[in-house]
Structure 1
Amino acid sequence: MGLGPIETYWSDGTVTGYSDYCQSVHDENLQGEAEANTPVCDGTVCTFPNGATVPDRNADAPVVPAP
């Protein structure tokens, strides 16, 4: 599934793009996908727009004192 510019490859070997309208709809959908899959991280957990959470991979590992 490509998410770049829309191109159409024809049987005669030519390549064309869709109309500006089709490209703009495509770009809007791509932007929406990016926003829906971009979490907000607070140093402990990352929260996605749908409410799902995952551990923050960029958080510092907890320091465990040596015995």
Structure 2
Amino acid sequence: MAFFWIARTGAPWRDLPQESGKRSSVYRQFRRWTLAGLWEQILEGLHESRIVPDAMQMVGNTVVGANHPLPGS
């Protein structure tokens, strides 16, 4: 799925390969799944199944971009 390509590469939506489909359609579907809480359900299911180690985490670029160095460090 195109969502995973975006997540794996960190590329902006505008760089989605043409063979993935219309980027506005892909983004709309991603947004619907987000608003429906599907991603949380998927991650919770993976956690409960113990398929994925507890130490594995996902960090979005908004979290990384929002962190600034502390004064004096």
Q: Does TM, scored on the shorter chain, surpass 0.5?
A: no
Q: Could you tell me the TM-score, scaled by structure 1's length?
A: 0.30
Q: Compute the TM-score of the two structures, normalised by the length of structure 2.
A: 0.28
Give the strand-richer structure, 1 or 2.
1
User: Larger Cα Rg: Structure 1 or Structure 2?
Assistant: 1
- Higher relative contact order by CA 8 Å / sep ≥ 6: 1 or 2? 2
- Structure having the higher helix fraction is 2
